[in-house]
């Protein structure tokens, strides 16, 4: 053993009479080695005391006869942390894999950003074009509509040739197509928000054309005679045409309740103006109405006189001889409004009439008092408490509104969907389903007879709000959930 170690052990000796224990000795040797190595690093190994860390790699020792411990210590010349390097290398490999994975994600994101950047640029260009009004989807819709209308016009020409002569139905279709052509041209410049309404009209016309084309090879249909305008030389209504869709009312889809028609004047039957009277969205108050001199003006929303009143109630309105007849708001009073001055000419109380939704039609509120016009003049259809809700018909003096005569029917008014008068005969309708009504009942004030009918009436929407008859053109003007429809009536020919 070298002198430095011996001197160190001499200093730490407990005394001449004491002997070194092996653990004590090893502990002193370890301390000396650490003091000699200074900053040098050794590989720790487990020694004699289980979990106690020892700083030497191999120790052998013995005790001589005098009890002195002798041992040899072998220290490596150099130490290298191999296990730490291995852990470092593994960690570096794991980090490298994670980095490659994240880098690939970043590359994908860069590609996506590039794609979306191009899409955004494309949208920006398209929006700029639309803002400059050089093109729009609405204009494209109108172009498609024009193509469809031209195709229908060609088909009508072919149908006329195949029928081998003039046909009333085909002629009517030709007129409607011409009207819709004018309407498209007008709306294209004035009102580009009505494409949907025009589409619906075109669908209706296409349906009619298909029906005509399908009937070419069939037997010639029964031709119903048309009486002289204003004449009652017939046996009553026996059939009705399919609906002709004129257009949506001018106030829009939200105004589902109202009435419309054509004025009838016995002195000038062919000069009647057209009127449209949609109720407010509450389905009760009649506040605004419009007058048109011709049907083309109505179709194109031009040359209209828009007038306002504040006292009309319900959709039982009718127009006769340049006067509008309305139920006064919240009363059983009736009024005659001069259309030239838009002022009330006269008011009267309708005796005993139920009002304010007491006995209105089915599915239609506030129509307890319903005016009607036919060849004989002005009528009013209503109910009373005494009639227990059954329909009461009164003939009115169209100037004074005095009741001239009254008839009582056995038909309960709230079970009918609407009613109209033709040549003194009341015709009542009822709902069969969402697309079909039926003229199911009649009452003849000329004879006092009443009975059942089964004339099917097709419709565009679910509810019929009003029906007005015009004696000159023999048409029914129907307000159907905001849409303006008209129908041709067919009559039974009297025996010669």
Query: Tens digit of pLDDT for each residue in 132-182?
Result: 554 444 555 566 667 766 777 776 676 666 655 556 666 666 677 777 777
Assess if residue 11 is contained within a domain: no
Task: Report the CATH number that the domain containing residue 324 is assigned in CATH.
Answer: 2.40.128.630
If DSSP codes are grouped into helix, strand and coil, which group holds residue 335? strand
The predicted pLDDT at position 1 comes to 44
* Same domain for 410 and 299: yes
Assess if residue 221 is contained within a domain: no
Summary mean pLDDT of the chain: 80
Residue 223 predicted with pLDDT over 50: no
Assess if residue 88 is contained within a domain: yes
> CA 32 from chain center: how many Å?
95
* Same domain for 276 and 166: no
| Cα–Cα distance measured from residue 174 to residue 163, given in angstroms and rounded to the nearest whole number | 14
Per-residue confidence band for 106, with pLDDT thresholds at 50, 70 and 90: confident
Per-residue confidence band for 113, with pLDDT thresholds at 50, 70 and 90: confident
| Cα–Cα distance measured from residue 429 to residue 455, given in angstroms and rounded to the nearest whole number | 9
Alpha helices, H only, 132-244: 137-163, 168-190, 195-214
* Same domain for 389 and 319: yes
* Same domain for 280 and 188: no
User: 93 or 18: whose pLDDT is higher?
Assistant: 93
* Same domain for 383 and 250: yes
pLDDT in tens, 453-466: 999 999 999 999 99
Residue 184 predicted with pLDDT over 60: yes
Domain end among 164, 193, 222? 193
Assess if residue 306 is contained within a domain: yes
* Same domain for 467 and 412: yes
Q: Which domain holds residue 240?
A: 234-493
* Same domain for 356 and 256: yes
* Same domain for 469 and 382: yes
Q: Which distant-in-sequence residues (6+ apart) come within 8 Å of 272 by Cβ?
A: 262, 263, 264, 265, 470, 472
Domain end among 132, 161, 193? 193
Assess if residue 464 is contained within a domain: yes
pTM of the model as a whole: 0.59
* Same domain for 273 and 408: yes
Q: Which distant-in-sequence residues (6+ apart) come within 8 Å of 100 by Cβ?
A: none
* Same domain for 455 and 402: yes
Assess if residue 6 is contained within a domain: no
Assess if residue 202 is contained within a domain: no
User: 345 or 150: whose pLDDT is higher?
Assistant: 345
Rounded average pLDDT over 266-286: 94
pLDDT in tens, 377-432: 999 999 999 999 999 999 999 999 999 999 999 999 999 999 999 999 999 999 99
| Cα–Cα distance measured from residue 252 to residue 223, given in angstroms and rounded to the nearest whole number | 37
Assess if residue 224 is contained within a domain: no
Rounded average pLDDT over 79-95: 76
Q: How many domains does the chain have?
A: 2
* Same domain for 262 and 189: no
The predicted pLDDT at position 159 comes to 66
* Same domain for 357 and 486: yes
């Amino acid at each position: 053993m070298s002198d430095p170690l011996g001197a160190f052990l001499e200093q730490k000796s407990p005394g001449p009479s004491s002997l070194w224990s092996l653990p004590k000795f090893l502990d002193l040797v370890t301390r000396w080695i650490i003091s000699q190595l200074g900053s040098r690093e050794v590989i720790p190994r487990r020694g004699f005391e289980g979990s106690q860390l020892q700083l030497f790699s191999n120790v052998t020792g013995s005790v001589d006869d005098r009890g002195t411990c002798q041992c040899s210590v072998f220290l490596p010349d150099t130490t290298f942390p191999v296990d730490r390097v291995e852990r470092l290398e593994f960690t570096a490999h794991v980090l490298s894999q994670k980095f490659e994975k994240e880098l690939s994600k970043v590359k994908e994101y860069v590609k996506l950003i590039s794609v979306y950047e191009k899409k955004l640029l494309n949208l920006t260009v398209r929006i700029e074009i639309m803002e400059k009004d050089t093109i729009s989807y609405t204009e494209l819709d109108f172009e498609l509509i024009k193509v469809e209308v031209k195709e229908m016009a060609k088909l009508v020409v072919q149908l006329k040739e195949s029928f081998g002569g003039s046909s009333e139905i085909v002629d009517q279709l030709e007129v409607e197509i011409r009207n819709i052509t004018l309407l498209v041209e007008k709306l294209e410049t004035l009102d580009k928000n009505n494409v949907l309404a025009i589409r619906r009209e075109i669908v209706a016309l296409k349906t009619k054309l298909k029906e005509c084309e399908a009937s070419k090879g069939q037997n010639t249909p029964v031709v119903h005679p048309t009486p002289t305008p204003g004449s009652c030389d017939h046996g009553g209504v026996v059939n009705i045409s399919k609906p002709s869709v004129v257009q949506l009312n001018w106030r829009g889809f939200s105004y589902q309740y109202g009435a419309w028609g054509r004025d009838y004047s016995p002195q000038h039957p062919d000069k009647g103006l057209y009127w449209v009277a949609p109720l407010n969205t509450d389905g009760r108050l009649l506040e605004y109405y419009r007058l048109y001199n011709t049907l083309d003006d109505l179709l194109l929303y031009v040359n209209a006189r828009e007038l306002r009143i504040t006292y009309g109630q319900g959709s039982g309105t009718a127009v006769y001889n340049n006067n509008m007849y309305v139920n006064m708001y919240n009363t059983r009073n009736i009024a005659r409004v001069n259309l030239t001055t838009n002022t009330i000419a006269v008011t009267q109380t309708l005796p005993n009439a139920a009002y304010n939704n007491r006995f209105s039609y089915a599915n239609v509120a506030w129509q307890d008092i319903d005016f009607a016009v036919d060849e004989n003049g002005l009528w009013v259809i209503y109910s009373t408490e005494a009639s227990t809700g059954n329909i009461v018909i009164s003939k009115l003096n169209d100037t004074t509104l005095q009741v001239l005569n009254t008839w009582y029917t056995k038909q309960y008014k709230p079970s009918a969907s609407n009613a109209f008068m033709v040549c003194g005969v009341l015709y009542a309708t009822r709902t069969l389903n969402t697309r079909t009504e039926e003229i199911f009942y009649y009452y003849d004030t000329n004879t006092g007879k009443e009975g059942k009918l089964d004339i099917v009436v097709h419709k565009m929407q679910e509810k019929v709000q009003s029906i007005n008859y015009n004696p000159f053109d023999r048409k029914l003007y129907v307000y159907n959930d905001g849409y303006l429809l008209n129908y041709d009536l067919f009559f039974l020919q009297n025996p010669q």
